[in-house]
Structure 1
């Protein structure tokens, strides 16, 4: 009542605090009306530091609190009471009553008290400790993509060069392999070659004399079910950059089914080309159509006498029996059309293997990881609905067959550069964000993919990487979100490293016959100055 009277008096015109007190009392009354409570609160900051650093520590504390709208005052006369009150387990009811008599406590609503309580906790991750991380304040964090019971197990990794993206991908691959999961990696730049050797995995590369054949028809199990992947793949073979006419797309679909019935798993692109040469498809009542004949010409590079014959003529021969496989695509970058087509086929074949292994009773976790996704999909034809359809189907198949599709790129901008890239991003429930430029963070905010307020923007711009010590990762998922630090021992860090000087030092020692572990140990000894 007194606060209301004072606020309406002339005194309020010269005393700005009077209306504020009325606002406080109104807020308290509203809380009580809603069933809330008023509590007494004592808030104090105690700084423990060296005497020589006390002044600096005090000023730093005041600056931090002032930045949040609080003004700290020095407790000059009642040190003993203040010290006793802020030590753990010492603020008893009687001591609190003494402080009330000294008018050192204030009254607050329960909600205010909760917000002012100096209780700071970090996200602890998920229940399964497949990945072991740490929070900024030392909180142990465990993580497993398969703990997500509200969506899929797919992930997207975004990290600028030098932020630790490749190291984080290595850690994911190695941690899941340690739990007996199947791991498949599409690499670009040999980021996983050392880990593949360590894991006794299979390293495949498309060198000039490589005998690899990726004929997509060899692995078909159910032609009707697999058409969702096969038709877009053949369409991309025919035209990587320009869209096909609708009749051509339907012709590809009908042609695949017709040739498959005649040849089964022995079907090749050559047989499909020969059908299109006639320009006739009885099933579609098409006769001597030049558009169908054009398809035969466009598929020529992938046929028996074509430029890429060795990759497609005959039966596919990639053996998926090894539980850890790295497929290096660096050599394919010279032929962007072949590069994009091969990776689309690999998406089909790897997800097909996920399905077949599940049918055999193998219910282990299965990861398909793709580094530098934008380059892997090919840079010809930026916005491509056909590629988007392949990526979407691969993501759906991975989830359906108990797999996880994890893609990685250097900037958030990449995921919004084309329809196919955006599809990969939208089908990823897990987002791992390493150090990013401010522009990329702004794009994520505008897109609505990660909801940001000012506090979260400050948090994300603070992400950093301390070379040789840790990388910080912002994890965003339906299961929670928070910042984690990836901290590795020197041996593992060198195993995962993609730096030229590290790879060169290890390669030189492996050329002398040392194993990957022996080579790493020798490099670490020499760098530390310890004798061999």
Structure 2
């Protein structure tokens, strides 16, 4: 009896197990589901890399010969926006791809930005090693880079999802077949050239991705620990043609575990209580697509430009797979299903089944797109997130919010199929075999190529300019942005504006550092000691124009140094200075300007560098009218010039030989003490500008040169003479590879007078920091600049966070607008401080004999304690 009962119990247990496995996909109520367990056994048996098809690369053809397929991969530069023309050109790509091919777009948000960071540091190291540039600038760059590296793969700031990542875009096309199929090889070679040309027409620059490019792309995906390390190991991975490519994609000792909800990479804890340092990788499919989507909207799938909450707090990979199908069969099917949907929507039962009307509408939309030149295809999207296990919940919530805001109403978690979904996100995986698997999982769905075009993840964020890694900024979606002010075909000048507290001084300090760190010649006209600390640490000369300082700046004594400049050019510089002396607050009349021109020319011809305002006054007094009588207007000008002549209240500052020496490569002139005397301040600024411009010829033209005028709106006036002076100075600066930077309190200052208009109009680069709402309302009229709705929205959205970053809109020489963040290190922030307890703290230490650098470090340390 006992034996029979045992047999019956065993039979019942077997039946329950078989039934559970058949229906629920699990062998028991506990443990991993059967599909997950099977995938784990597969990974343990052969290794994750053996599940990848990548075998060999043919340098001659540029094709990859995989296990059972042939394909190619292109590295594509993401666009920063899209219009209807780009979408139309991109749509043509699918028309050129034969049936049976799998097209995949893969956009990786890669936190390993070593190439960018190294370029920034290497540029400074190269010049520091020559001994011509203080090591301070190299150390400053290293501090900044260390700060970024310390948060690799994680949000940069507490309480924000903001993460630094490079957006890398790949395109692969593959078809099942063998490498010994000559016809297939030739077809794919031709297809690659057609695709590259199509991408070029769509303004998507591309090149063939060789094995080193493929390894660089896939290594951190398959070894996600790299995302959260120092990133240096990725630069050491190089292709060897004596082994299959798949054997070069994972580290030795690679360990992966398959779970129902995610994959886990890394070695699990060996002891209870030990920290779990593995990386979780979770993949999602799209369950419901938007009813309508435009390509330009896909820019927000990498994070919102205007909503800081909708950012990814981790690395991610977005893949769009498109299977090209037989068009004749699919169009016939579409026509049949469309007719059936129309019939069902008109039936009586449709009143009880509203979804029939929706199906009818969808099939009408499909047939309309087919009539407009589209074709049928099969499409899927996957999103793969990489994060520490404890942080994955936060990352999933953020990602779901981003996709939901873009009307992808539900991300499907792909339970028990994480490995398959993960592999489906890789290049050259979409063969007919994978398509069949995805069809079973209901991940792939029938769409049109118009849908595939409009939902392609081909939009990224501006990555900066070509040229030197001079300035390092970051986009709002975390993309590192290197800017070279010399990457301009017009001029190298800049106009910087921003209200108080917007971060203007910190940004300008960084711009000065960018020029000086590469051996640049720096000249600064400061109002408020914003740059005094940097000038001191750079070993520069800081000239504080105080009463009784004995400073003389005479435009005549510094003119005529450059043989390339004739008398007309010299007069263009000297006459505006004399004009401001005789008329500090109002433009001079044309006839007055003509008389000044005659007098200045006469003095220059007679005395050259020995000329002075006193001698100009004498020349004016000697001018005769048509009756050979003293010219009355000239006499009036001479009288008005009296304060700047010998014996006048300002005469000692502008007569005689200029004694401001510009021998040092870094010179700053501080005009804070002239705020109460704007008449003299303007004349001194113009004279200093004249001197700086005249001495540019002395330096090698290959060396960068920067002349910065801070708070320039206070100094220049509304007269054509000063405007001409500015334009002539800017013209000379370009001839000698020089840059003029002009800083003001707001964009509306650009329209304040003719001189600021000249500065604004002659600046290829415009840095617009946070503006007051009154300023934006003023410029909305269009008098100062063309304020488009998009630019206005950008300006209104600027929101600096003190102690973390400032924000600004950069307008490049081509008119492109880029919303960027300036994220300095704490040393740079302290260096630019000019007010409050922080400034007083450092000044006390400096007054006690401490060096500027040590005083800044002491202040930083005091904040930590």
- Range class of TM-score, shorter chain: 0.7 to 0.9
Residue 109 of structure 1 deviates from its aligned partner by 4.8
Picking from 821, 827, 837, the partner of 1:491 is 827
CA distance, structure 2, for counterparts of residue 285 and residue 80 of structure 1: 104
Residue of structure 1 aligned with 2:516, choices 170, 177, 184: 177
Give the secondary-structure state (helix, strand or coil) at the position aligned to 1:42: strand
Aligned partner of 1:145 among 485, 489, 495 = 485
Larger mean CA deviation between 201-210 and 108-117 belongs to 108-117
1:89 aligns with 2:431: no
2:750 is equivalent to residue 415 of structure 1: yes
Contact 1:279 1:291 in 2 (8 A): no
Report the Cα distance in structure 2 between the residues aligned to 1:24 and 1:158, rounded to whole angstroms.
Answer: 50
Aligned to 1:520: 856
How far apart in 2 are the matches of 1:315 and 1:144?
Answer: 38
User: CA 1:229 to 1:471, structure 2 compared with 1: closer, same or farther past 3 Å?
Assistant: same
Equivalent position of 1:344 in the other structure: 686
Cross-structure match for 2:568 = 224
Displacement after TM superposition at 1:16 (Å): 6.4
Mapped pair 1:253 → 2:594: no
Write the distance in 2 (CA, Å) between the matches of 1:236 and 1:165: 28
Q: How far apart in 2 are the matches of 1:262 and 1:89?
A: 79
Q: Which stretch has the larger CA shift, 1-10 or 488-497?
A: 1-10
* Structure 2 residue 381 is the aligned partner of structure 1 residue 43: yes
1:487 Cα deviation from its structure 2 partner: 2.9
Q: TM-score, normalised by structure 2?
A: 0.54
Partner of 1:234: 578
Shift of 1:435: 2.5
Where 1:299 maps in the other structure, the secondary structure is helix
Deviation of 1:242 after TM superposition, in Å, equals 3.1
Structure 1's 67 and 132: CA in aligned 2 closer, same or farther, altered over 3 A? closer
Alpha-carbon distance between aligned partners in 1 of 2:835 and 2:820, rounded to the nearest angstrom: 23
Out of 795, 799, 805, the position equivalent to 1:464 is 799
Gaps of 5+ in 1: none
SS in 2 for 1:157: strand
The structure 2 residue matched to 1:316, chosen from 649, 654, 658, is 658
Q: 2:527·2:670 contact (CA, 8 Å) conserved in 1?
A: yes
Residue 541 (structure 2) aligns with: 202
Distance 1:6 1:55, change over 3 A: same
What is the rounded CA distance, in whole Å, between the counterparts of 1:276 and 1:121 in structure 2? Answer: 63
Report if the CA contact (8 A) 1:85-1:95 is conserved.
no
TM-score relative to the length of structure 1: 0.86
Q: Would you say 1:276 and 2:623 are equivalent positions?
A: no
**Superposed, which structure 2 residues align to 1:7-156 within 5 Å?**
11=346, 15=357, 18-19=360-361, 21-32=363-374, 38-45=376-383, 64-68=402-406, 70-73=407-410, 75=412, 79-81=415-417, 84-86=420-422, 88-89=425-426, 92-93=430-431, 94-100=433-439, 103-110=442-449, 112-118=451-457, 121-126=460-465, 127-148=467-488, 150-156=489-495
Q: Which stretch shows the higher mean deviation, 344-353 or 248-257?
A: 344-353
Please report how far the alpha carbon of residue 180 of structure 1 lies from its aligned counterpart in structure 2 after TM superposition. Answer: 0.6
Once residues 214 and 190 of structure 1 are traced to their aligned partners in structure 2, the CA distance between those partners, rounded to angstroms, is: 20
Distance 1:319 1:439 in 2: 42
Number of the residue aligned with 1:301: 643
Equivalence for 1:334 = 676
Instruction: Give the stretch that moved more between structures: 331-340 or 119-128.
Output: 119-128
**C-alpha spacing 1:109/1:23, structure 2 compared with 1 (3 Å):** closer
- Return the alpha-carbon distance in structure 1 between the equivalents of residues 698 and 449 of structure 2: 56
CA-to-aligned-CA distance 1:206-256 (integer Å, 9 cap, x gap): 211111111111112143221122222212211123333332211111111
- 1:163 maps to which residue? 502
Could you say which structure has the higher helix fraction? 1
Structure 2, unmatched stretches of 5+, are 1-334, 352-356, 561-565
- Which has the greater radius of gyration? 2
CA distance in 2, matches of 1:57, 1:526: 35
1:458–1:362 Cα change, 3 Å: closer
SS in 2 for 1:398: helix
| CA distance, structure 2, for counterparts of residue 425 and residue 24 of structure 1 | 51
Instruction: Output the CA distance in 1 between the equivalents of 2:516 and 2:398.
Output: 46
Q: Mean Cα displacement is larger for which, 413-422 or 197-206?
A: 413-422
Q: Which has the higher contact order (CA 8 A, sep 6+)?
A: 1
Q: Deviations over 1:103-135 (max 9, x none)?
A: 543344556434423455332212311223334
Are 2:740 and 1:405 aligned?
yes
Aligned to 2:327: none
- State the Cα deviation string for residues 134-153 of structure 1 (Å, max 9, x = none): 344443332210122x2110
Alignment of 1:421-432 (within 5 A): 421-432=756-767
- Describe the superposition over 1:447-467 as per-residue Cα deviations: whole angstroms up to 9, x where unpaired: 38466454x555444433232
Residues 521 and 277 from structure 1, CA distance in 2 versus in 1: closer, same or farther, beyond 3 angstroms?
A: same
Please state whether the residue corresponding to 2:410 is helix, strand or coil: coil
Aligned partners of 1:158 and 1:410 also within 8 Å:
yes
1:260–1:53 Cα change, 3 Å:
closer
What is the CA distance between 1:295 and its match in structure 2?
A: 0.7
Report deviation, 1:65. Answer: 4.1
1:2-33: CA deviation from partner (whole Å, max 9, x where unpaired)? 5489779994999366456434422233234x
Query: Matches of 1:308 and 1:147 in 2, distance apart?
Result: 42
Whether the aligned pair in 1 keeps the contact of 2:682 and 2:716 (CA below 8 Å) is yes
Q: CA deviation digits over 1:467-512, x for unaligned, max 9?
A: 2222233322136653433333333332222333222111101111
RMSD of the TM alignment (CA)?
3.3
**Does the C-alpha gap of structure 1 residues 85 and 231 become closer, same or farther in structure 2, counting only changes over 3 Å?**
same
> CA separation in 2, counterparts of 1:414 and 1:4?
64
Bigger CA drift: 506-515 or 2-11?
Answer: 2-11
Displacement of 1:340 in angstroms is 1.8
Deviation at 1:345, TM superposition (A): 2.2
Structure 1 residue 272: deviation in Å?
Answer: 1.4
Cα distance, 1:197 vs structure 2:
0.8
Q: State the secondary structure of the residue aligned to 2:615.
A: helix
SS in 2 for 1:466: coil
Partner of 1:357: 698
Tell me if structure 1 keeps the 8 A contact 2:506–2:828: no
Matches of 1:444 and 1:80, distance apart in 2: 57
